[in-house]
Amino acid sequence: KKVKKNKYALALIIGISDYENTKARALYADNDAMVFKDYATEKLGISENRIKILLNNGADERDILLSVQEWLRRSTKPNESDIHVFFAGHGLASQDGKNMYLLPHDGSPRLLDDTAILRDRLFADLKATNPKSVTVFLDTCYSGVTRNEEMLIAGRPIVLKAKEQPIPYGFTLFSAATNEQISRPLEEAKHGMFSYFLMKGMEGDADANNDNKITARELHAYVEQNVVQQSSGLQTPELQGDKDRVLVQFN
């Protein structure tokens, strides 16, 4: 199905499977990001030259922050650009559950404040570019347990419970799992389970009312149903923000 081009839209896509400071891998996260890049052009209608992809050791803290603060800021057309951010990799909550972090390639799970990217900070930087909208897809979790059920930090309590946090106005946030769940892989597809059904839904499977549009609400409903079923209820994707935003518009 052909989609409408979204002239001023941008996508920052990050996938980190291998980490410098933890042996625990995020299975297939780099693959999720590479395939999502194709979906960004073919389903979200974003021009190739307005997509930036950071993989593994090309996704250090500095690379990610510069991409947001310089590349996105420079490329965003104020009040007209729809920004899309896709992140597949490790996330972690602070010990008290108040802060959520995304772990860059060079991040240390033991030094979150100093080496990881605070989710609130990332959202504030995105908001500062003054876009029309921001849609964030996070195939990560904050429980301290990886996709293949390894511990990110040996000896920490098994599951950290991150507290629910508000998101800025104009944002739509797709999360792979609730705050205390693990984000799991779909082995046979070589993808994260959430990423796999996210992209499958964007092909058109999520267009529940066949109106040639896929809203955030429709996409989430499709992803949630399939992920809950595949994980036997152990993983429940979540949606916050503007649920009526049209993400995919077929011609």
Residue 158: pLDDT above 60?
no
Which helix (DSSP H) or strand (DSSP E) does residue 101 occupy?
strand 100-102
Beta bridge partners of 10: 83
Q: Are 159 and 184 in contact (CB under 8 A)?
A: no
In angstroms, the CA 146 to CA 86 distance is 18
What average pLDDT is seen over the chain? 93
Query: CA 175, CA 90: separation in Å to the nearest integer?
Result: 13
The contacts of residue 74 (CB under 8 Å, 6+ apart) are: none
Predicted structure pTM score: 0.95
Give me 43's structure tokens. 């389903």
Ranges 24-28, 124-128, 142-146, most confident: 124-128
pLDDT tens for residues 16-74? 999 999 998 999 999 999 999 999 999 999 999 999 999 999 999 999 999 999 999 99
Q: Which residues contact 60 (CB under 8 A, 6 or more apart)?
A: 104, 105, 106
Confidence bin at 159 (pLDDT 50/70/90) = low
pLDDT digits over 162-175, tens only? 777 889 999 999 99
pLDDT at 226: 98
pLDDT, greater one: 76 or 23: 76
